[in-house]
Amino acid sequence: MMRKLLRRDTLSNEQLDFFGLERQPFQLSPNPDFLYLSPSHEECLQRIRLTLELRNGLFVGVGDSGTGKTTICNLLLNEFSSDKDMIVGMLHHPWAPSPYAFYHMLCDEIGAPAGGPKSTIARRTALFQFIQNQVLQENKSLVLIVDESQQLTPKQIEIVRGLLNLETAEAKLIQMIIFGQMEFLNSISGKRFKNFRQRVAMSYVLTPLSLADTGAMINFRLKKAGYKGKNIFTKEAVDELYRSSSGLPRAITKFCHVAMLIAFFQQEKVIDKDVAVQAVQSTPLKGVDENE
């Protein structure tokens, strides 16, 4: 029964009631409502917003799996989509089998017309004309968010560089926010991508949470889920979760979810170190970092 219980991705209504919760506190989906902004996340967002404010063109953010890159992307997408003066698109998985397919994907994401001949040149021309029309004539701001940038091929990186060549004397016509795993830095190293690197206006490396932020993140998510009582997780439990997760938000979230399932099974409303250890030992590592 215990093994079956631990396979649940969500808490049941009975379990939510047991802990005094209104919503799921530790789901793994990259929900920006549950994004705890550590100092590292705050600094990253400040640099992104400054890049956009100055219309400098390109921000690049990298970090290990599970540091919250996709959640930040979703936060920005939600924020920008509500601005009527902004056109925003997001590539969640940017890999495409050909330059034509990549241009087609870009056109779809920002709403550029996809008519005309089905050729790479036609798609590129349509995309460039749309960007110039929206920014220069309609006075719109155009932002493209790219997640999982380590999937970009060398040819796609060159296409991105070409988009950043669209500019006036004062600003870039398209603003790009690119996030990827640390290996993306290897992808853009070397002489071939020197011009691409020169177009990076600002960059940032997301870091894991500190011990203090681990506890703060846990409490933040519980409060977001409607919890109003004293701390469910003891200091010793937080210490164990921090040590076992290396401060990676997604791993912490996974461990906390399993810990709550175990605590419910044991009818304990306080999660101590023993329960935290059980949660860590019961949590499969595979898949912990697949989505952020």
Q: What is Dmax (Cα atoms) for the chain?
A: 67
C-alpha 26: how far from its chain's center?
16
Closest CA to 115 of 130, 105, 126: 126
The pLDDT value recorded for residue 150 is: 97
- Please give the tally of structural domains in the chain: 2
Q: Does 15 share its domain with 110?
A: no
Q: Does 90 share its domain with 202?
A: yes
List all residues 6 or more positions away from 275 whose beta carbon is below 8 Å from its beta carbon.
237, 259, 262, 263, 266, 268
Q: Does 253 share its domain with 265?
A: yes
Whether 181 contacts 65, CB under 8 Å? yes
Q: Which amino acid is at 11?
A: L
The DSSP letter of residue 233 is B
The pLDDT value recorded for residue 163 is: 95
Q: Does 141 share its domain with 224?
A: no
Range of the domain at 128: 39-206
Interatomic CA distance for residues 289 and 292, integer angstroms: 7
Interatomic CA distance for residues 267 and 193, integer angstroms: 57
Q: Does 197 share its domain with 214?
A: no
Last residue of a domain, one of 172, 206, 240: 206
Interatomic CA distance for residues 200 and 193, integer angstroms: 11
265: which 2 tokens?
């099974």
Report the 10 Å Cβ neighbour count for 186.
10
Query: What does the pLDDT look like over 95-152, one tens digit per residue?
Result: 999 999 999 999 999 999 877 788 999 999 999 999 999 999 999 999 999 999 999 9
Q: Does 90 share its domain with 151?
A: yes
Domain-located, residue 51:
yes
Q: Does 152 share its domain with 181?
A: yes
The pLDDT value recorded for residue 6 is: 60
Domain-located, residue 290:
no
Q: Does 107 share its domain with 151?
A: yes
156: which 2 tokens?
């796609």
Domain-located, residue 269:
yes
CATH of the domain at 103: 3.40.50.300
In the chain, which ranges are continuous DSSP H helix? Answer: 2-6, 13-19, 39-54, 69-81, 99-110, 120-132, 154-163, 183-187, 194-198, 211-224, 235-245, 249-265, 273-282
Interatomic CA distance for residues 50 and 203, integer angstroms: 11
Interatomic CA distance for residues 76 and 80, integer angstroms: 6
Q: Residue ranges of the chain with pLDDT lower than 50?
A: 286-292
Q: Does 19 share its domain with 132?
A: no
Domain-located, residue 289:
no
Last residue of a domain, one of 149, 184, 206: 206
CATH of the domain at 267: 1.10.8
Domain-located, residue 184:
yes
Please, what is the end-to-end C-alpha distance for the chain in angstroms? 29
Q: Does 68 share its domain with 110?
A: yes
Q: Does 152 share its domain with 199?
A: yes
Cα atoms in the 13 Å half-sphere on the side-chain side of 178:
29
The pLDDT value recorded for residue 117 is: 84
The pLDDT value recorded for residue 287 is: 43
Query: What does the pLDDT look like over 192-215, one tens digit per residue?
Result: 999 999 999 999 999 999 999 999
The pLDDT value recorded for residue 5 is: 58
Q: Distances in Å between the alpha carbon of 253 and those of 4, 10, 228?
A: 19, 12, 19
Q: Tokens 């690119």 appear where?
A: 178
Phi and psi at 127, nearest 5°, equal -65, -50
Domain-located, residue 287:
no
Domain-located, residue 292:
no
72: which 2 tokens?
């930040």
Domain-located, residue 288:
no
